[in-house]
Amino acid sequence: MTTSASSPQQQAIRISNVCKSYGNYPVLKGIEAEVIRGEVVVICGPSGSGKSTLIRTVNRLEEINSGAITFDGQNIHAPMRTKELNLLRSRIGFVFQNFNLFPHLSVVENVSISPIRVKGVAPGIARDKALKLLDRVGLADKAGAYPGQLSGGQQQRVAIARALAMEPPVMLFDEPTSALDPEMVGEVLTVMKGLAAEGMTMLCVTHEMGFARDVADRVWFIDAGEILEMAPPEEFFKHPRHPRAQRFLADLRH
Ligand SMILES: Nc1ncnc2c1ncn2[C@@H]1O[C@H](COP(=O)(O)OP(=O)(O)O)[C@@H](O)[C@H]1O
Ligand SMILES: [Mg+2]
């Protein structure tokens, strides 16, 4: 496994020797990785291997025990005030498996609330921008609806629009399609593919291997808290090197 020799200017995210335990159970064991600007990385691996924990350390939803993570050169896990941390988080879009929309706010309010609250954008401007983003994810006609009135696929597209409203240079996705009925997976992947095509830097945990094959620049295979393989998708799917990656792919095909 090689870590490339990219310059700091090219790096969006650098993860250096990150270790994390829950109690005395190690979940991340010395993770070394980087995401280059404009790169789409798909993280895959068995259930319980540490994928969510890893991606959540990148916007500090999880603390780490040792190591460092930098985003645009800034140390994400340095001591900082809540306000600073919120600002940092607002620059890293996060899309969860279960959408996490505010149920009591309309769709357009869900998308515009963070720019208003965190960035101080004027409500009218935030609303116009939110409507444009909803149009972009194909939900212009749902602006006034409430999350409970939408399908899972629609809710997830709202969640993506909500993340984009903060104009983050990087987007993280943790199994964005895993909670969806199969017929809704495609509409969410289409939005993600569009983002990738526009050059968004993306770190995606997903079991959608078709997406990985078509869209990813690199795949990271993680098992038991270690990245065992990093490779372009064509290489990873055709010639996985690590026996555990081979087994994982064989299991997926069954
Ligand atoms: N809050 C927590 N407390 C204790 N153990 C946890 C917690 N979150 C996750 N784990 C454990 O850490 C391991 C990795 O979990 P996770 O990162 O969610 O894996 P994945 O996303 O790959 O399925 C699992 O064994 C899980 O049970
Ligand atoms: Mg997970």
Q: What pLDDT digit, counting tens, does each position of 215-254 carry?
A: 999 999 999 999 999 999 999 999 999 999 999 999 988 8
Nearest ligand, CA 57: 1
Q: How many A from CA of 21 to the centre of ligand 1?
A: 10
Q: State the chain's mean pLDDT as an integer.
A: 95
Q: Quick one: pLDDT at residue 5?
A: 56
- Interval 133-157 mean pLDDT: 97
What is the b/e burial string over 126-142, where b = at least 16 CB atoms within 10 angstroms of the residue's CB?
bbebbbebbebbebeeb
Residue scoring higher pLDDT (9 or 48): 48
Does the CB atom of residue 240 touch ligand 1 within 6 A? no
CB 202 within 8 A of CB 219: no
Q: How many A from CA of 51 to the centre of ligand 2?
A: 5
Separation between Cα atoms, residue 134 and residue 159, nearest integer Å: 10
User: Above 60 in pLDDT, residue 2?
Assistant: no
The whole model's pTM is what? Answer: 0.95
Does the CB atom of residue 112 touch ligand 1 within 6 A? no
* Dihedral pair phi/psi, residue 60, rounded to 5°: 65, 30
Does the CB atom of residue 13 touch ligand 1 within 6 A? no
Nearest ligand, CA 223: 1
What is the b/e burial string over 175-191, where b = at least 16 CB atoms within 10 angstroms of the residue's CB?
bbbeebeeebbebbbeb
Does the CB atom of residue 110 touch ligand 1 within 6 A? no
Does the CB atom of residue 27 touch ligand 1 within 6 A? yes
Does the CB atom of residue 63 touch ligand 1 within 6 A? no
CA distances from 164 to 66, 172, 250 (A): 30, 11, 36
Kindly report, residue by residue over 177-204, the tens digit of the pLDDT: 999 999 999 999 999 999 999 999 999 9
Single-letter amino acid, residue 229: E
Residue 53 CA: which ligand 1 atom is closest? 17
Residue 5 has a CB neighbour count (10 Å cut-off) of 6
Which tokens hold the place of 93?
């879009």
Does the CB atom of residue 53 touch ligand 1 within 6 A? yes
CB 199 within 8 A of CB 38: yes
> How much of the chain is in helix, strand and coil states, percent to nearest 5?
40, 25, 35
User: Above 90 in pLDDT, residue 1?
Assistant: no
Q: How many A from CA of 174 to the centre of ligand 1?
A: 13
